[in-house]
Structure 1
Amino acid sequence: MDLGIQNRLAIVCGASRGLGRAIATRLAAEGVNLVLAARSAGPLEDAAQAIRAAHGVEVRTVVTDLSTPDGRATLLAAAPNPDILVHNGGWPTTWGHDFRKWTRADWLAATDAMLLGPVELITGVLDGMIERRFGRIIAVTSRFVKEPPLSLALSTSPRLGLAGFMAGIAREAAPYNVTANAVLPGIFATETQVEHGHALAKAREQTIEEVWRDRASTNSAKRFGTPEEFADLCAYLSSAQSGFVTGQNILIDGGGYPGVF
């Protein structure tokens, strides 16, 4: 199916690897020109070169830290008028601690990365999308927005705030063919998950194969998703045909979520 977005311009954050790179590659296959953002110059340029070679679209890179106001301003200055914004990335640096030990600095850092970061980017591009009568805003968050464990509250709390903000944006912008949706991934076979699996294997004194198999068993599909499956969903939400889908938090987790709504 032709998604009707050839020659559109997309910002894709966290695009040097994993889900972000897969999304960028999938959009490029539809003829979308790209501005890719990430913190590491080498991997980001590698991704850009591979996408240019495979799909022949324009690909620009912006090396920046989107957890900071200056980093977000740098990206918006480089691409002030995108048709598609995919915010992907931003995680707290404090893990596995008793919530009683989290400091104000921990909370502020998490909020800046996972709430204020995407809010500033969305705010920066929204009016242009409304004026041009086309816009697709996608935030990659987490399945834990639907079932937030206390141990991950530094991640889920800002993302729940983002869900509320995007719901308001979605309703404000819908008459102008601008949509705003969040995609909530479960476990996907990315470099990050491999690294996490090795860390768990070491901590549990198991093999990586045992850890991988145990984690795969946590959803109904009994496997990790592929980055390409995730990117296909994001491509549809970026499409001309998706204009009636907005204000949603869409799970893609292999049937891992145990609830109905």
Structure 2
Amino acid sequence: MSETMNLVVPPSRRRIAGGQKTVRTRIGRAVLYILLIAAAAAMLTPFFWMIMSSLKDANSVFSVPVRWLPEVFVWQNYVDIWTRSDIVTWIRNTLILSVSVTLLQVITGSFAAYGFSRIRFPGRDALFLLYVATIAVPWQSYMIPQFIMLSNAGLTNTLWSIIFLQTFGAFGVFLMKQFYETIPEDLSEAGRLDGLSEYGIWWRIMVPLSVPAVASLSLLTFVNTWNDYLGPLIYLRDSSLWTMQLGLQNFVANLYDVDYGVLFAGLTISVLPIAVVFLLGQRFFVEGIATSGMKG
């Protein structure tokens, strides 16, 4: 039927129709690019304003009308935040917590996900559903019992309290399980035939094949731990244990006259590690998120 219609329609008309379709496709693509650029600009504008504010003097940060670019670049703000605060200690504590929690969540999350995806036992699906359902429970609803438990264990006012709180994460188990299900089960069977234990299959087969999912989980966990404010506020009372978020808040609270240029310099420094981690792992992050919901 289509061949008959092609014979009836003159070649010139077919070329015109094809050209119109090409023009519409190009216009639609151009509109899409414009919308994406506008959305990206809207998301990046606060970061640009933060960086520019970190190079202004205290009186120019909230000037009216808004000055997007400083008249004079005050690089002294970055020197002041290093000399007038204990930012080195804050960065060290935040790195310790972020790296430790990320490693533990990747290990525990991937190991538990292997059990839920590859090992069959009674009540497996119900237990997994119950475990994942804890994502919907807000932490504020059970943080008081947690605090009492950690206080009785003598772990408050230590970095261990934050590490133990976030060692396990239901989201990490869910993400890794979804990715494991894209890996053919024949590989696990081949490993068993070769004499590997379940631990060996997980470590030598599943983990190397799940690099995108591991990178996604690592990035999300690192960013979440780095930006955590409520946890350190509750458990870390000693100033030598403060993280970046808690330290900057107390730095502002203790100033009689807030120098917002210095404050924004500290905020810019706090964002840099996250930006670097994301830029280095964005390819694996996108790949891991895109493939974690697919069935193999």
TM-score class, shorter: under 0.3
Looking at secondary structure, tell me which structure has more helix per residue: 2
Looking at secondary structure, tell me which structure has more strand per residue: 1
Structure 2 length-normalised TM: 0.24
Compare CA radii of gyration and give the structure with the larger one.
2
Q: Which one has more relative contact order, counting CA pairs under 8 Å at least 6 apart?
A: 2
